[in-house]
């Protein structure tokens, strides 16, 4: 009888947890880039249009208990299974030569080959490809160079549904950087007990962020500084309170991580979100400024993994990935496949013995969620 009651209680609890999914707005994308390129995307996982009049965005300042809050623009709503993107309202075109006031990117920033200080092209150490980036004027505070050629992937301004007041003394909420937690509240924010906090990026009152610059994932990568992070499609609800005092940590496994820098701006997923709450989800989260949704390999964050020891003397290495490994391919500097292994037993960690000559190789890992990553391996 006791076992039956426990089972019943567990089922009731599970039912409550399941029913809580797909019922409330959550943050589907966070973008903190160079200059004033900051954006938040809010997703509606329900089948009804939701008014944003009763919601607030808040910033928890640098690991302290201080909060700054802001409302959404008047009349803002989110249609079923759609998003609402808020961008800092830095659109004053007279400020292109002012370092701290440079406007949000509009697609007319010059995109060309990245170069080293000696003028030679930068080469990606992993892929061997020439790198491209936003060109800057080194004589003018490294501000972007303007051009007449338009690139959609550089345009953040066009992806905004609404803009946040850019005046610091009026609205400090959209001055978040890597060590500020950002939250979504329903109703007037309870900034003491956080009782109506429904979703959060970061950890409230985290003392590590008083001097730290960013939360990090298990690989030591920055999560919130010069990054765009995108909620995985299987996430169906917000986090609720995430607080250091409760020993909570950043749930980075729920996010896809993209670099957001001059060499790799990440704006194209803003404005559309793929979520399993949607009975007819879009084929891709990538949206052009004209509203077209397009599928592209760039929508998928690369598989992340570590190789150790590296360099290796014996050819015996361990590969540890963020998801289960499906296949490992070894490529030499000539582009030839020298080893290719499909994992009979799929695991996040694989012990690999390579019978190859000394030299430089590229390890290509494919995870079970079909992401691909490449790392360089030196065999001595």
148-175 confidence digits (pLDDT tens): 989 888 999 999 999 998 888 888 999 9
What is the per-residue pLDDT for 208? Answer: 95
Degrees to nearest 5, angle at CA 286 with 27 and 86? 40
Q: How confident is the model at residue 5 (pLDDT cuts 50, 70, 90)?
A: very low
Cβ atoms of residues 197 and 244 within 8 Å: no
Residue 367 has pLDDT above 70, yes or no: yes
Read off the pLDDT of each residue in 46-60 and give the average, rounded to a whole number.
Answer: 97
Distances (CA, A) of 301 to 91, 133, 159, 342: 30, 19, 20, 21
Q: How far is CA 261 from the centre of its chain?
A: 12
What is the per-residue pLDDT for 284? Answer: 66
Token duo for residue 11: 């089922």
Q: Which of helix, strand or coil describes residue 159? A: helix
pTM: 0.74
Contacts 24+ apart (CB under 8 A), 187-193: 187/54, 187/55, 187/56, 188/56, 189/56, 189/58, 189/67, 189/69, 191/58, 191/67, 191/69
Residue 3 has pLDDT above 50, yes or no: no
Q: How confident is the model at residue 193 (pLDDT cuts 50, 70, 90)?
A: very high
Q: Which residue has the higher pLDDT, 221 or 299?
A: 221
Read off the pLDDT of each residue in 259-285 and give the average, rounded to a whole number.
Answer: 82
Phi and psi at residue 122, to the nearest 5° = -75, 135
Q: Which of helix, strand or coil describes residue 28? A: strand
CA distance 207 to 205: 6
Q: How far is CA 380 from the centre of its chain?
A: 36
H helix intervals, 126-190: none
Q: Which of helix, strand or coil describes residue 349? A: strand
- Nearest CA to 254 out of 271, 268, 240, 270 is that of 240
Q: How confident is the model at residue 354 (pLDDT cuts 50, 70, 90)?
A: very high
- Domains of the chain are 22-91+154-299 (no CATH), 305-379 (2.60.40.1930)
Q: How confident is the model at residue 130 (pLDDT cuts 50, 70, 90)?
A: low
| % of the chain residues with pLDDT over 70 | 89
Token duo for residue 158: 């066009």
What is the per-residue pLDDT for 16? Answer: 41
The contacts of residue 377 (CB under 8 Å, 6+ apart) are: 307, 310, 311, 312, 317, 330, 360, 361, 362, 363
Cβ atoms of residues 92 and 138 within 8 Å: no
Cβ atoms of residues 317 and 328 within 8 Å: no
Q: How confident is the model at residue 206 (pLDDT cuts 50, 70, 90)?
A: very high
């Amino acid at each position: 009888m006791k076992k039956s009651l426990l089972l019943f209680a567990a089922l009731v609890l599970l039912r409550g947890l399941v029913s809580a999914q797909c019922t409330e707005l959550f943050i589907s994308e966070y973008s903190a880039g160079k200059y004033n390129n900051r954006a938040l995307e809010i997703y509606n996982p329900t089948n009804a249009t939701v008014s944003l009049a009763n919601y607030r965005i808040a910033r928890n300042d640098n690991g302290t208990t201080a909060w700054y809050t802001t409302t959404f623009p008047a009349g803002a709503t989110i249609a079923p299974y759609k998003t609402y993107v808020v961008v800092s309202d830095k659109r004053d075109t007279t400020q292109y030569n002012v370092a701290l006031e440079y406007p949000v990117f509009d697609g007319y920033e010059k995109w060309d080959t990245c170069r080293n200080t000696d003028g030679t092209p930068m080469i990606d150490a992993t892929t061997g490809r020439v790198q491209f980036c936003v060109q800057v004027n080194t004589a003018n505070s490294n501000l972007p160079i303007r051009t007449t050629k338009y690139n959609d992937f550089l345009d953040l301004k066009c992806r905004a549904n609404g803009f946040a007041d850019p005046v610091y003394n009026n609205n400090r909420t959209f001055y978040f950087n890597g060590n500020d937690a950002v939250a979504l509240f329903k109703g007037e924010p309870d900034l003491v007990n956080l009782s109506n906090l429904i979703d959060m990026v970061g950890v409230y009152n985290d003392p590590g962020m008083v001097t730290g610059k960013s939360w990090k994932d298990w690989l030591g990568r920055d999560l919130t500084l010069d990054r765009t992070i995108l909620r995985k499609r299987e996430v169906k609800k917000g986090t609720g309170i995430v607080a250091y005092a409760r020993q909570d940590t950043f749930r980075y496994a729920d996010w896809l991580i993209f670099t957001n820098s001059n060499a790799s701006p990440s704006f194209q997923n803003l404005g559309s979100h793929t979520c399993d709450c949607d009975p007819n989800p879009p084929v891709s989260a990538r949206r052009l400024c004209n509203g077209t949704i397009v599928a592209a390999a760039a929508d998928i964050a690369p598989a992340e993994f570590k190789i150790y020891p590296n360099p290796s003397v014996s050819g015996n290495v361990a590969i540890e990935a963020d998801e289960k490994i499906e296949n490992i391919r070894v490529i030499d500097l000539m582009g030839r496949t020298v080893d290719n292994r499909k994992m009979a037993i799929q695991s996040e960690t694989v012990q690999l013995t390579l019978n190859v000559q000394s030299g430089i190789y590229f390890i290509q890992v494919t995870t079970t969620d079909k992401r691909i990553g490449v790392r360089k391996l030196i065999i001595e």
